[in-house]
Structure 1
Amino acid sequence: MYFRITIPAFQEDKKDEAVSFVKEKVMPEFSGTPGLLSLTAAITGDTSGINMAAWDSKEASEAVAEQIQATLAEASSFMSAPPVIYEGEAVYGKMYQTIAVGETKPSYMRLVVGVAKETDAVLNFLKEKVEPIYEESNGLQLTGAIFDGNSAISWNFWDSQEDMDAAVEKLQAALDSESETELFDGSTVAYMGPVYAFTSSIDFNEGETPN
């Protein structure tokens, strides 16, 4: 599974326009695209959001590169800067709840970005320290991670902000115990907020992994 994650920066007072653009243009136009497994959009602040596309392969994503660029160009009217884009093959993740085609459920997203000193060390940290916390958490829907060069991008989706907050305290403690400075150059950045749009072309079944 191949992911493309776009982090746009909105102009002041342009958030509602951006949300409408994604709901009314992006979702309908890309729905049914060969190889596109899901599209997710979340608001993470007054001037920031996350758009995540899951593809069955890098080739499927690249096949519509021109359409993606045209969409970004159209969206530039309410952006304050070009979006930050990360993409890569899934290296980690798991479905903790089944999400069927056509199903939408309330969801709260947390996405963390950091510059890894060694990607293998970060992946081991996810598997050995973070995954046990995920396994005992309530309200967890799914997890995932990619590397784009040395950038490590990991995410988790929850039934509610309360469920996420309960787990974040434990996740931060795990990161503190490992010493963030040993894993990353500089501090990690976390984006959090409610999912406002989602569509999928396949069933995502509990227990499945993307890699």
Structure 2
Amino acid sequence: MTNKEEIEILSTQIKWEPIASDGGMTEQMYLSSDKELTALKQYLGAELPDDYVWFMKNIGRRFFNDDRIHMKLNGVSLSCLDWFRDAVDVLTFTKMASEKDDDGDLQIPANLLIISDSISRDNFLLDVSSEHYGKVWFRHHDAKWRMMNAERADGLVLVANSFSDLSSKIIKNTSPSDIDFNFSSDDKIV
């Protein structure tokens, strides 16, 4: 079974928030078009994984309504993963995060897409590099947290080997944990 076939099956097994049909919203407004996905590919200079493309064209920008999201993968709580962005948002946020900061450093490493982010600016990233093609990484907003918990020098933690693998792990979670966020010692809760 291909990743594209797998994500088609897996996507039906995740509980999603219903599409808000009031106010004129339609299902098409949640989906990414070929034109939007092409713009994303052109910006990256790389093909997008088939499973991710299928998801963006058929499920799209959707919020989770599934308690199975409350789990940890490689020490990262997925509780902060509440939705996936559409191609327009992915391109916009990836471009912004790919710009150099005040120190001249990239905010995210090259060849990564921000497919989701949390209110605290944690990122879930899809890798399109030849070395790690299709893998899904987590990047915490706090540099100290990244230094202590990341498995790579660039501060990333692997959460899944593909977009389909991430979906599969959520579906297979038979014991959702309490809601947990990836707080660092410097985070202030008000």
TM over 0.5: no
Q: TM-score, with normalisation over the residues of structure 1?
A: 0.31
Q: Choose between structure 1 and 2: higher strand proportion.
A: 1
- So what's the TM-score if we normalise by structure 2? 0.33
